[in-house]
Amino acid sequence: MRAPHHDRAERKAGNGNVKQARAYFDAVVACLETTWEKHLTDAGLTYGKVKVKHVTKFPKKWCGMETDKGDSQALYGAKNRTLAVQAGKNWTSDINNLRVFYVAAGTYAHDVQNLVGIDRAYNAIPFGKRAELLEQNRRYDLQSTCPGGAFIKSVWPLKGRTSKVA
């Protein structure tokens, strides 16, 4: 997997700037869409763009999911294929640490799971006790790290970034 337009420069965002963090998230999603559209359509799968909705604060429930009280989070709603994003101090205190990049890739990966049918298969699996449901949820979430990580590898190293730890 190789991302198209790999040589483009990464969008910059300043620390503490929520507007720029949102724009950065959107730029990562745009790159994800370019990459995944090509791979999914080449595989004969139907593709459509995901929606991104920026919120100042999540309600207690969104798309049937409990939200937490964190000031920064991203959630995926499969029914409406929407990434809902709340960018706060947690994400903007050190924008250069790639947290927003990683979260965008991992959250978008749930849409990939939806488009390829993993979501439907997951929802069809019966479960008995709550512990079994929680284990299935854990595995489903772990599966999203695969397409998220594949995307990150396809664009890494980013122009101006290194894998060296400072």
List pLDDT tens digits, range 96-152.
Answer: 777 888 899 999 999 999 999 998 998 898 888 999 999 998 998 888 888 888 888
For residue 36, what pLDDT band results from cuts at 50, 70 and 90? very high
* Cα distance from N-terminal residue to C-terminal residue, the chain: 28
Per DSSP, helices labelled H in 43-157 are: 89-92, 99-116, 118-124, 130-155
Give 58-70 pLDDT, tens digit per residue.
777 677 777 777 7
Q: Give the pTM.
A: 0.82
Q: Are 54 and 85 spatial neighbours (Cβ–Cβ below 8 Å)?
A: yes
Neighbours of 97 (CB within 10 A): 11
Q: Is a pLDDT exceeding 70 seen at residue 4?
A: no
Dist CA 36 CA 41 (whole Å): 8
In angstroms, rounded to a whole number, what is the distance separating the alpha carbons of residues 158 and 162? 8
What's the average model confidence in pLDDT over 64-77? 81
Tell me what pLDDT residue 12 has.
Answer: 64
